[in-house]
Structure 1
Amino acid sequence: MSRILVVDDEETLRVLVARGLAMDGHDCMMAGDGAEALEVLMAEKGRFDLLLTDIRMPLMDGIALALAAKREFPDLTIMLMTGYAEQRERAKSLETIVAEVMAKPFTIAELRETVMRVIERSIG
């Protein structure tokens, strides 16, 4: 199906999200923070259908990552996740480059449905 880069500093959540998306046949790579994710994006030449990243992370947060990723790879679809209301407010200013902001906590079913919708919207 799609190639997805999953970025979250919480390893348990990162693995859970990647496994949940793999249930739909997606090929997921993972990174533990924005800086690592940017290295992966550069090494892979941006060949992902979706960048799915948490907002609040050490080193480089998801918003800085989204801005850098979109600058380097303008066609990359980006989806943010956060459990913090103030972070969702910060993300509103990025609505031209971010396809969706998903509130944590979420179920795997909600995640799978939202990711599918975002990917379908980016294709069509």
Structure 2
Amino acid sequence: MNYIKQNHINARDKLLIIDDDNNTRLLIKKIMSDTKITIIETGCGREAFDLFSNFSNEIFLVILDIRLPVYDGWTLIPKFRQVNPRVPVIALSAVSPQELALKCELAALSEYISKPFRIHELRQIINSYYCYPFNKSDQK
């Protein structure tokens, strides 16, 4: 479990990144390093649930890899919803875009991003949730 602390502007300033690929987590942290967002990240599904449970009132967005050890993404989503259904979850996965789109719709996810992703698009998505953390998910 790692944290990147930056200046806070509000209580909901945490981005939870859950991906067992350390390089993906490092890349996301790097592209968001010039923001005021606090990054919480892990590569383990079980630890992800613990982090979400502890910080759900401070998290504005979860970026969730679907294929994880212990608990996979599909297992974590309903667990997250039980703790705090208002926190948007974006799936990040290398599974086929068609399969991912269908499953994300069934799981009522906010959005999904296929790997490999475009850095500027991911940053734009993260920033849109940071600026308006619940507006997007409340409209669904």
Indicate the TM-score class for this superposition, using the shorter chain for normalisation. 0.7 to 0.9
Q: Which runs of 5+ in 2 are unaligned?
A: 1-8, 136-140
Residue number in structure 2 paired with 1:70 = 81
My pick for the range that moved more, 65-74 or 114-123, is 114-123
Residue number in structure 2 paired with 1:102 = 113
**Moved >4 Å (runs of 4+):** none
Q: Which runs of 5+ in 1 are unaligned?
A: none
Residue number in structure 2 paired with 1:28 = 39
How far did residue 22 of structure 1 move? 2.6
Give 1:56's match in structure 2, choosing from 67, 88, 91: 67
Q: Deviations over 1:54-104 (max 9, x none)?
A: 111121111211110111112212111111113443222012xx2111111
Separation in 1 of the partners of 2:68 and 2:28?
16
Residue number in structure 2 paired with 1:8 = 19
CA RMSD of aligned residues (A): 1.8
How far did residue 21 of structure 1 move? 2.1
> 2:56·2:87 contact (CA, 8 Å) conserved in 1?
no
Q: Which TM-score applies when normalising by structure 2?
A: 0.76
Percent sequence identity is: 22
Alignment coverage as a number of residue pairs: 122
Q: Deviations over 1:33-72 (max 9, x none)?
A: 2211001122335421111111111211112111101111
Q: Which TM-score applies when normalising by structure 1?
A: 0.85
Larger radius of gyration: 2
